Amino acid sequence: MTRGWRSPGSAPWAAGDPDKRYGPDVALVIVDLQNDFADPAGSLSVSGGATIVPLVNAEIERALATGAAVVYTQDWHPAHTPHFAQDGGIWPVHCVQETWGAELAPELAVCGSIVRKGSHGEDGYSGFSMRNPAGGLPVPTELDETLARGGARRLVVCGLATDYCVKATALDGVRLGYETAVLLDAIRAVDLEPGDGNAALEAMAVAGVTLIGSRPSPD
């Protein structure tokens, strides 16, 4: 175990009673809970992805009850992007704009702003920034501005996938100065290589992300 696991991270307030972790300066950030990742028929289906939806809905209720904002990110790719294997990247075609695969999971309660990423072929995983496909330079999404407008200083992050967009979003959250927690029961990993999900948890913990709850079961 690394030191990170023992450290309380930047968001010790998020541990303990789940009904007490939200308030007006907290935002619940739900990452890419979309059909292509969550549905077993999705093109980049994450094992156990759909099972987190009821847990996420319960968090949404807790958040809204205290005046916390709820914000959703949505992978929103054009039909061709260097992100996809067919165009030189590594991923199967997924979350193409205006298709079923890009829609948020149907059982997910949608009660807040949606921030889309990748709309113009940008690559990248964080809800906060994308990489310009031409120059490779980072381009911010609207997430930071949306959170700031809502008065958030603290983040609770959940969704898909642990080893890509959840990790990148949580790491950027810490980097941008948000006290950031991740809900272990409400995330799942792609695990392209076995162990990727656990490595992502380590990286987040070391960076100061507070990991809350139990580790996801390998289902």
Q: By the criterion CB under 5 A, which residues form the site for Zn ion?
A: 75
The listed partner (ligand VGL, Zn ion, none) that binds 161, CB under 5 to 8 Å by sort, is ligand VGL
Catalytic annotation present for 25: no
Question: Which CB atom, from 39 or from 75, has the smaller least distance to ligand VGL?
Answer: 75
The listed partner (Zn ion, ligand VGL, none) that binds 178, CB under 5 to 8 Å by sort, is none
Query: Measured from the CB of residue 94, what is the shortest distance to Zn ion in angstroms?
Result: 6
Catalytic annotation present for 95: no
The residue annotated as part of the active site, out of 95, 117, 123, 172, is 117
For 130, how many CA atoms within 13 A lie in the half-sphere containing its CB? Answer: 23
The listed partner (ligand VGL, Zn ion, none) that binds 76, CB under 5 to 8 Å by sort, is none
Task: Specify the DSSP class assigned to residue 207.
Answer: H
Question: Which CB atom, from 75 or from 191, has the smaller least distance to Zn ion?
Answer: 75
Residue numbers at the binding site for ligand VGL (CB under 6 A): 32, 37, 75, 91, 125, 160-161, 164-165
Task: Choose among 167, 176, 177: nearest CA to 206.
Answer: 167
Tell me, rounded to whole angstroms, the distance of Cα 100 from its chain centroid. Answer: 19
Q: Which residue is nearest to Zn ion (CB)?
A: 75
Query: Measured from the CB of residue 23, what is the shortest distance to ligand VGL in angstroms?
Result: 27
Alpha helices, DSSP H, located in 22-75? 35-38, 53-65
Tell me phi and psi for residue 60, to 5 degrees: -60, -45
* DSSP-derived pairing of the beta strands 138-140 and 129-131: antiparallel
The residue annotated as part of the active site, out of 32, 36, 172, 191, is 32
Question: Rounded to whole angstroms, how far apart are CA atoms 157 and 166?
Answer: 7
The residue annotated as part of the active site, out of 144, 165, 167, 191, is 165
Residues 96 and 80 sit within 8 Å (Cβ to Cβ): no
Contacting residues for 60 by C-beta, under 8 A, at least 6 apart: 28, 30, 70, 109, 111
Which of the residues are catalytic? Answer: 32, 117, 165
